[in-house]
Structure formats: C-alpha cells, structure tokens
C-alpha cells in the first residue's frame, strides 16, 4: 500500500504542475472579453464613436458644398489640382480628435476612478491588459471609422456631382485613399491609447495627443524650407495627408511609406506604454 501511495503522489504532482497551463493560455481571450464588456457599457464610448461618424460626414459635406459654391471663381491651377476624394474627407482633421480622445479614455478613465486596480487584480499580467485594450479598441475603431469614411466619401461626391466634379470609388487610387482615411483615424485612436497609458491623466494625455497631432505640424510649417516639409511628412498630420490623398503630394511620403511610418509611431509609443504599465504602481 505504501508503494501505491508513493507512486500516486508523484503522479498527482505531475498533474498539478500542468493544471495552470490552460487557464494561463486563456488569459488574453478572457481579458479581451472583459475589455469589450467595459467598453460597450460606457456611455462616453457610444457618444465618441457617434461624434466621429457625425463630424467626418458633416464636415466633409460642408467642405464639398463650399467648394462647389466657389468653383466658378477658382483659378485654373486650383481646378486642375483639385482632389475630390480628399475634399470629401476633410472632416478627418476634427474627427481624429474624437477618436483620439476615446483612445485616451479607454485607459485614463480607469486610472481616474481607481478601476485600474481592480483590472490589474483580476489580470495581474499588465502587458496582457494593455494588449486586450488595444485589440478591442483597435477593432472597434477600425470598423466605425471605415463606416464613417465611406459614408463621408459617397455623401461628399453626391454634393460635388452637382458641378460634375465627383469621383467614383472605382477610379484609380480612390478606394485606397478612402481605406487609408480609416487607417489614419484608427492610428490616431491607438496613439491616444498609448498616450493615455504613458501619462495616465486624462487632461495631460489629451493635451499630449493634441500637441502631437495638431500643434507639432504647425510648428514644423513655421520652419524654413526644406526643414518644414522634411519634418512635417513624418508627423501624424503629414502621414494622414499621404494616406487619404489620391494625388501624390510634393514633399510628402507615398502611401506605403506613410503606412510604415505610422506603424513605427505605434510601435514606439506602445512599447513605451508597455514598459511603463509594467513598472509603475497602479
């Protein structure tokens, strides 16, 4: 009997050593489900996403309407360089703030309310928490912004068509530009998430986002040529202009290069965010 007990004990020890494997592997899916529940249950999320769509569509239509009203008085150069796709997507310059602020709030609101301590107690792997937030918010942002930019494009082209200036989604590079607009908005949203994780305070993170997205391009344009273009094309605003423009812009990156630079921005900021969330106290 003692032999059976001795044999059984190591067997139980082996089973116990393998027991945590499955739960550990299921941490990320569980964290993703939790983040999805939190995100969709917060009222500010819905309003921010509605604002993103509304601003993108309404401002795009407004700029297209203003262009048609002024078209007969425009010079030949302005008419020849006109990009109807980019014109219908002008609302992105304000919509990026709505989606960026939502990205900040995804995590900064938890620091403000103290919920972050509960989150980290439930999921001690802090990198998993940040990854789950990025996955859930990134997917939602991509879906919503794609809907927004397609509505804005078709609505804007309907306005421009009153002067026979509209473009078709099947025209060369147009579909790429419209999808590029959705990519840019998603990029700004994830940038907001990274800044929210780094700064942890909502006001400070939003100020950082506004500074990087809106203020830095203005400061760059104040520099003498060619420094202004050399710097501005690597900033988020320059990246966005390259992504959602059909025509190639002088002094700007190509769409492929702009996408690569956007990925480098995200890798850099999210890497810093990952390091800080792992080392700092909640």
The Cα 29–Cα 34 span in angstroms is 9
* pLDDT score recorded for residue 282: 66
Residue 201: partners with Cβ closer than 8 Å, 6 or more residues away: 108, 111, 112
C-alpha distances (whole Å) from 275 to each of 21, 114, 129, 262, 267 are: 25, 20, 13, 20, 12
Residue 45: partners with Cβ closer than 8 Å, 6 or more residues away: 39, 102, 105
The Cα 99–Cα 92 span in angstroms is 10
pLDDT tens across the length of the chain (282 residues): 444 444 444 444 433 334 344 344 578 888 899 888 888 888 878 888 999 999 999 999 999 998 888 877 777 777 777 888 988 999 998 999 999 999 999 999 888 888 888 888 888 899 999 999 999 999 999 999 999 999 999 999 999 888 888 888 988 989 999 999 999 999 999 999 999 999 999 999 999 999 999 999 889 888 888 888 888 889 998 898 889 888 777 678 888 999 999 999 999 999 999 999 988 876
Check: CB of residue 137 under 8 Å from CB of residue 190.
yes
* pLDDT score recorded for residue 11: 43
Torsional class of 164: left (φ above 0), alpha (ψ -120 to 50), beta (otherwise): left
Which DSSP helix (H) or strand (E) runs through 184?
Answer: helix 174-199
Check: CB of residue 68 under 8 Å from CB of residue 169.
no
**Taking the mean position of all CA atoms in its chain, how far away is CA 244?**
15
Q: Tokens 């780094």 identify what position?
A: 198
The Cα 154–Cα 234 span in angstroms is 29
* pLDDT score recorded for residue 1: 41
Check: CB of residue 202 under 8 Å from CB of residue 196.
yes
- Rounding to the nearest 10 degrees, give the CA dihedral for residues 262, 264, 269, 270: 100
- The predicted model scores a pTM of 0.85
* pLDDT score recorded for residue 166: 81
Torsional class of 12: left (φ above 0), alpha (ψ -120 to 50), beta (otherwise): alpha
Please report, for the chain, the start and end positions of each structural domain, with discontinuous segments joined by +. 31-279
Note every long-range contact of 254-262, with CB atoms under 8 Å and residues 24 or more positions apart, other chains counting.
255/176, 255/177, 255/180, 258/180, 259/180, 259/183, 261/234, 262/183, 262/184, 262/187, 262/236
């Amino acid at each position: 009997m003692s032999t059976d007990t001795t044999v059984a004990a190591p067997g139980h020890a082996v089973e116990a050593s393998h027991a945590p494997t499955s739960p550990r592997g299921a941490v990320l899916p569980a964290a993703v489900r939790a983040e999805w529940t939190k995100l969709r249950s917060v009222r500010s999320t819905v309003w921010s996403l509605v604002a993103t769509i509304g601003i993108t569509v309404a401002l795009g239509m407004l700029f297209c309407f203003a262009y048609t009203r002024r078209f007969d008085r425009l010079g030949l150069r302005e008419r020849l360089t006109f990009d109807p796709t980019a014109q219908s997507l002008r609302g992105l310059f304000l919509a990026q703030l709505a989606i960026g602020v939502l990205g900040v709030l995804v995590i900064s609101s938890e620091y403000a309310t103290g919920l972050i301590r509960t989150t980290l107690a439930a999921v001690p792997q802090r990198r998993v928490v940040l990854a789950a937030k990025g996955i859930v918010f990134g997917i939602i942002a991509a879906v919503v912004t794609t809907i927004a930019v397609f509505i804005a494009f078709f609505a804007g082209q309907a306005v421009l068509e009153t002067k026979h200036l509209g473009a078709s989604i099947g025209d060369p590079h147009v579909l790429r530009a419209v999808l590029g607009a959705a990519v840019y908005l998603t990029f700004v949203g994830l940038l907001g998430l990274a800044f929210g994780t780094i700064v942890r305070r909502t006001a400070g993170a939003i100020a950082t986002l506004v500074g990087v997205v809106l203020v830095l391009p203005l400061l760059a344009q104040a520099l003498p040529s060619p420094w202004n273009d050399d710097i501005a094309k690597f900033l988020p605003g320059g990246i966005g202009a390259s992504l959602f423009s059909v025509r190639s812009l002088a002094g700007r990156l190509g769409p492929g290069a702009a996408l690569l630079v956007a990925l480098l921005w995200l890798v850099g900021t999210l890497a810093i965010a990952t390091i800080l969330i792992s080392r700092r106290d909640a």
